[in-house]
Amino acid sequence: MTGQASIAPAAPVAITLGDPAGIGPEIIAKAFREAPDATRGAFVAGDVGTMRRASQAVAQPGRPAWPVAEIGQIAEAAAVPPGCIPVLQVVASPKDIVPGRISAEAGRVAGNCVVWAARAALQGEIAAIVTAPLHKEALAAAGFPYPGHTELLQAEAAAHAGLAVDRMPVRMMLANDELRTVLVSIHMSLRDAIAAVSFAGVLETLRITHRALHRVLGRAPRIGVAGLNPHAGEGGLFGSEEGDIIAPAIEAARAEGIDADGPYAPDTVFMRARDKGGVPGSGEFDVVIAMYHDQGLIPVKYLGVEKGVNVTLGLPLVRTSPDHGTAFDIAGTGRADASSLVEALRMARKLSGG
């Protein structure tokens, strides 16, 4: 989040539909039913028919399906009465969607909802985007040349600013009540991720993290940096990246006034950063920089997927999402847990000042 677009007064939060064959629509329906404080004033950017089916799927004895109210424009979301799910139809209605099945049609719907929301946010029409899960294979089958939400939003933001994509660097942050971690690289093979550990990449990650969390915390964040290799290279015995790349990047960041330390052994630095007993700021670090996707995501997800939130840093808009995928194995059953989506909504409101 940098240079956020001018936002209209009381602009609402848009929740994108996600893959209509996954659990996204169902957890959205549950969030409106179970967490009215988090969903107040929000609306779904998606498909009315899909949301009506999802609301039916999560209905329970004594707790009937919540009605879905179709709105014609963003401003109408605020006028929808409690007990309804406001939906703005932003895509052509999908056909022949089967719960739990990958399809180009589902990818088209999921991707186009994100494109619509990104453009609305960049134009200041909405305060933030909360993205329900999409499926990367379905997105690719629909012809989107991006491996996920992060890269798609990055491309939209860069195009809006008239910049090349590499001039709009972004990073993924996963956060829960106990731990935050930011990734140097995101969706790529492990072999490519190791090769992507560069001085420039680590330094850019430190800068983006410092700027974003300074706004959230109201002070400079304490940043711990994980090494790439076991034991952070053990003085070069297990690899040279720590001494050749990561430590010099930390030194350069510290010269810019960034409070960064490391590189530390990746098998212990997350424990050092973890807030004890859920007390904010009780850990040694406010955030850990991880060198690749699974290094950073496994510790956060182990502490509880239901509370994890994905935040994209570096964009000129606020975007959060649940810390889980489409869960095709339970799609359509109404059993999905909406907790992570609710936390993503609360985080989006906090980051956008709402």
195: domain CATH number? 3.40.718.10
Kindly state the average pLDDT of the residues 122-137. 96
160: pLDDT strictly greater than 70: yes
> How far, in Å, CA of 107 to CA of 240, rounded?
41
pLDDT above 70 for 332: yes
Q: What is the mean pLDDT of the chain?
A: 92
Count: domains in the chain: 2
CA distances from 238 to 228, 257, 291 (A): 10, 30, 16
**Does position 164 have pLDDT exceeding 50, yes or no?**
yes
pLDDT tens digits, one per residue of 275-299:
876 677 789 999 999 999 999 999 9
- Minimum mean pLDDT among 100-104, 167-171, 173-177, 336-340: which range? 173-177
Tokens matching residue 313: 């840093």
Asked whether residue 195 is domain-assigned, the answer is: yes
Q: Is residue 208 a part of any domain in this protein?
A: yes
Do 296 and 325 lie in one domain? The reply is no
Determine the structural domain holding residue 88 and report its residue range.
1-168+316-354
Going by C-alpha positions, the residue among 261, 248, 183 that lies closest to residue 222 is 261
Kindly state whether residue 255 falls inside one of the protein's structural domains: yes
Rounded Cα distance, 156 and 4, in Å: 14
Specify whether the CB–CB gap between 162 and 272 falls below 8 A: no
Same-domain check for residues 47 and 150: yes
- Same domain for 291 and 333? no
Q: Do residues 273 and 129 both lie within one domain?
A: no
Q: Strand runs (DSSP E) across the chain, as ranges?
A: 13-16, 43-46, 68-71, 85-89, 128-131, 171-175, 180-183, 223-226, 260-264, 287-290, 309-313, 319-322
- Say if residue 113 is in the same domain as residue 227: no
Across 183-200, average pLDDT: 94
* Shared-domain flag, residues 128 and 234: no
Q: Are 115 and 156 in contact (CB under 8 A)?
A: yes
Q: Is residue 39 part of a domain?
A: yes
Residue-level pLDDT at 10 = 62
